[in-house]
């Protein structure tokens, strides 16, 4: 089986695209789709074994993938990683700033160290990767950057540190889009809502009931898939988005628009709703999060 992308074959032939956090979840799925469309994908992450596993999957499927172990929170490591990609491939056409992470806790219980760790991962690391790709490569040859943020509209109670970091990344996206436009660099963001991804398996077991119930707060009535998120990322990297920069594409089933007192849908409409919004899942290696198994 191969990735069932909705995009044209060989859309990214000859291009080099870095995907941070490419060892799992949305990053893994996006790397697979880009490779299936002809890109030479560079997987970046902290855990060698996870990167190797995904690179092996991609090559087994006929794609091209290499890897770089890097902690994106470390400035010198990021500089060296981008330089190594250029030394190996000679170019960088795209960057998917996907690496991130957070934990569930109320604001009153977040320590300064915990707050800083989440900001370093979700904001500073993405900035460093984007800056170095621009300085070392894209300011000379153009390119496209897609920053992965989150559903921050209406706040993120229980994850205030992540919400602050993601809001910062949205602002960074808009600023970089202006500052780097003259060099032919487009900078956009994708904001996934509730996505059935392996990232959910990192939450504590007692969060499982809450996670399973979240679909009931989405007007479309379900979680999104990794493939639906990857498709948004691929679109923004593609020539079809050549006039899109500084934008944030939400993939969330209209969840932030939920209004108190407005019905989520009558039971009689459930079947029609399911038919109208069937999940797209083109990823032949997709794995259901354990919390839903």
Q: Decide if 99 contacts 77 (C-beta within 8 A).
A: no
161 and 110 in contact (C-beta within 8 Å)? yes
Q: What is the pTM of this model?
A: 0.92
Residue 216 in this model has a pLDDT that exceeds 70: yes
Residue 43 pLDDT > 90: yes
Query: For residue range 227-282, what is the model confidence (pLDDT) as tens digits?
Result: 999 999 999 999 999 999 999 999 999 988 887 677 776 555 666 566 667 888 89
Report residue 144: phi and psi, to 5°. Answer: -140, 135
The pLDDT-based confidence of 4 (bands split at 50, 70, 90) is very high
Which domains does the chain carry? 16-276 (3.40.50.720)
Q: What was the pLDDT predicted at 148?
A: 97
Residue 133 has pLDDT above 90, yes or no: yes
The answer to whether residue 102 scores a pLDDT higher than 70 is yes
- Signed CA dihedral, 21, 24, 29, 32: sign only: positive
> CA 242, 178, 39 angle in degrees (round to 5)?
40
Structure tokens at 279: 């999940």
Give the pLDDT mean for 161-166. Answer: 94
pLDDT of residue 236: 98
Q: Specify the pLDDT at position 273.
A: 60
Closest C-alpha among 78, 16, 94 to residue 46: 78
| Cα 50 versus chain centre, distance | 17
DSSP 172: H
Instruction: Tell me how long the chain is.
Output: 293
């Amino acid at each position: 089986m191969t990735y069932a992308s909705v995009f044209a074959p060989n859309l990214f032939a000859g291009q080099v695209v870095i995907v941070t956090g490419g060892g799992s979840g949305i990053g893994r799925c996006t790397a697979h789709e880009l490779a299936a469309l002809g890109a030479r994908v560079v997987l970046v992450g902290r855990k060698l074994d996870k990167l190797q596993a995904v690179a092996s999957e991609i090559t087994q499927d006929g794609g091209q993938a290499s890897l770089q172990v890097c902690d994106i929170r470390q400035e010198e490591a990021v500089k060296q990683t981008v330089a190594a990609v250029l030394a190996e491939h000679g170019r960088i056409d795209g960057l998917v700033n996907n690496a991130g992470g957070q934990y569930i806790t109320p604001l009153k219980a977040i320590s300064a160290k915990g707050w800083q760790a989440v900001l370093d991962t979700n904001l500073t690391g993405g900035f460093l990767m984007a800056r170095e790709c621009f300085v070392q490569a894209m300011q000379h040859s153009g390119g496209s950057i897609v920053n992965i943020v989150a559903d921050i509209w209406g706040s993120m109670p229980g994850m205030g540190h992540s919400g602050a970091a993601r809001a910062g990344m949205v602002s960074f996206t808009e600023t970089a889009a202006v500052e780097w436009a003259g060099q032919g660099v487009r900078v956009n963001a994708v904001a996934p809502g509730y996505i059935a991804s392996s990232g959910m398996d990192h939450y504590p077991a007692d969060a499982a009931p809450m996670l399973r119930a979240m679909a009931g707060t989405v007007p479309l009535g379900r979680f999104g898939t990794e493939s639906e998120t990857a498709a948004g990322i691929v679109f923004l990297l593609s020539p079809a988005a050549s006039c899109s920069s500084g934008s944030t594409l939400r993939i969330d089933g209209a969840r932030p628009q939920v209004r108190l007192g407005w019905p989520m849908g009558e039971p009689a409409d459930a079947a029609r709703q399911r038919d109208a919004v069937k999940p797209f899942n083109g990823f032949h290696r997709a794995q259901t999060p354990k919390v839903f198994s």
